[in-house]
Amino acid sequence: MMHQVSRMFVNKLHVCKFCFRFLPRISCSKRLSTQTSSAEIEDESNLERTTDNFTSSLYDDHIQTSLLQKALLTIGSSILSITDPYRHDMVAVLGETTGYVAAKQIRDKMLQDPEGSSILRDKPRINSDTLDYQFLESLPQGSLGHAYMDFLKDNNVTPDTRRPVHFVDDPELAYVVQRYREVHDLNHTLLGMPTNMLGEVAVKWVEAMQTGLPMCVAGALLGPVRFRKKAKRKISEVLSSMVCKLWISGQFSDECIF
């Protein structure tokens, strides 16, 4: 569906099937071109092999786009997201094409924190291959792991429902966006919010303040427009007791978001 939508707004989109690597590979390529010693090349190759598989698995799906193509995708995905908020594919596209500056700020803040730096270095993933469901279910009531498993069961979702990133051209920033998506259900769990429209808007308010992603800001501001008076009152109560506390603290929470 993502590729079909992209073809609607992008003319002759070129899909890059080769993988983008981080600085070790770039450095290795430069040294190869200048004919440095084989020992240095071997060291670079070893360093590259020790990096995680995130970039490779993600950029199998990477789609290279120009600024004009990104603008067309932004316009198209924003219109479809507003007319149908349940078009998660369009919401994902909008988040990627508008989130470059915010993703850089998130990365910089993560680099200033020991835990955030560790996450950027190791690039852990949240999916069925990395989670031990039996262990999480064995955790005591009230623990995050047990609550997370209850959330997945109650809402009939899995961590594998998070879409891969397509339109972010920087590998590290692409991981930041992917990480944001994969912790989204953890935010639902921490905030005790369901996956209905009211719950999504409440979570978007928290994510907007924590990440500054334009897609989250738009969802937080425009989401309540569709609500009836009773639902608007409810979201006001939820936000007053939950979001305002986070705003007052004024702290970027790696524990909550990443």
Tens digit of pLDDT for each residue in 41-87? 444 444 344 344 454 445 577 898 999 999 999 999 999 998 888 89
Would you say 166 is a known binding-site residue?
no
- pLDDT at residue 167, rounded to an integer: 94
Mean pLDDT confidence for 99-120: 94
Find residue 63's DSSP bridge partners.
15
Would you say 14 is a known binding-site residue?
no
In angstroms and rounded to an integer, the radius of gyration of the C-alpha atoms of the chain is 20
Q: Looking at beta carbons, which pairs linking 78-85 to residues 24 or more positions away fall under 8 Å?
A: 78/218, 81/218, 82/222, 85/197, 85/200, 85/219, 85/223, 85/226
Would you say 200 is a known binding-site residue?
yes
Mean pLDDT confidence for 215-243: 81
57 or 111, higher pLDDT:
111
Q: What dihedral angle (degrees, nearest 10) is formed by the CA atoms of 7, 13, 15, 20? A: -120
Band of the pLDDT at 94, cuts 50, 70, 90?
Answer: very high
Band of the pLDDT at 31, cuts 50, 70, 90?
Answer: very low
Mean pLDDT confidence for 28-37: 39
Would you say 62 is a known binding-site residue?
no
- C-alpha pair distances (Å), 94 with each of 148, 162, 165: 27, 15, 11
| DSSP letters spanning 61-85 | S-EE--HHHHHHHHHHHHHHHHH-T
Burial level of 242, CB count in 10 A (0-12/13-18/19+)? middle
pLDDT tens-digit map of 159-189: 998 899 999 999 999 999 999 999 999 999 9
Are 226 and 197 in contact by the 8 Å Cβ rule? The answer is yes
d(CA 6, CA 90): 10
- pLDDT at residue 204, rounded to an integer: 92
What global pTM score does this model have? 0.72
Are 73 and 65 in contact by the 8 Å Cβ rule? The answer is yes
d(CA 143, CA 147): 6
Are 91 and 80 in contact by the 8 Å Cβ rule? The answer is no
d(CA 128, CA 136): 12
- C-alpha pair distances (Å), 240 with each of 48, 236, 245: 48, 6, 8
- pLDDT at residue 239, rounded to an integer: 72
Nearest to 133 by CA among 158, 165, 108, 109: 158
Nearest to 6 by CA among 85, 86, 128, 94: 94
Averaged pLDDT of the chain: 77
> 3-class SS at 27?
helix
Position 5 pLDDT exceeds 70: no
- pLDDT at residue 243, rounded to an integer: 58
- pLDDT at residue 48, rounded to an integer: 45
Are 205 and 243 in contact by the 8 Å Cβ rule? The answer is yes
Are 188 and 151 in contact by the 8 Å Cβ rule? The answer is yes
Helical spans, DSSP H, in 22-167: 23-33, 38-50, 54-59, 67-83, 88-98, 100-111, 114-122, 133-138, 144-154
